[in-house]
Amino acid sequence: MAKIIKSNKKRRFCRVHNCKQQLSMYNFSTYCHVHQHLALEKQTAVLSSASV
C-alpha cells in the first residue's frame, strides 16, 4: 500500500492569531504544539455536549 504523503510547501502558521509559530509540514493540526490543547479542548467540548 502506498501512502500518499501530502508535501505541502505552503507555510502554515498556528491558528491562534497572536501566535507566530510556524507549523511543521508534518503537523496536520491547525495549532502549534503550544496551542494544541485548544484544539483538544474544543473536541472534547463537542463530544461531551453531544453525549448529553
**32, 19 contact by CB (below 8 A):** yes
CA–CA separation, 11 and 4 (whole Å): 19
Q: Which of 1, 5, 13, 19 binds Zn ion (CB under 5 A)?
A: 19
Nearer to Zn ion, 34 or 45 (CB): 34
Stretch that binds Zn ion, among 3-11, 29-37, 44-52 (CB under 5 A): 29-37
Instruction: List the Cα angle 35/43/47 in 5-degree steps.
Output: 160
Does position 23 interact with Zn ion (CB under 5 A)? The reply is no
Chain residues in the site for Zn ion (CB under 5 A): 14, 16, 19, 21, 32, 34-35
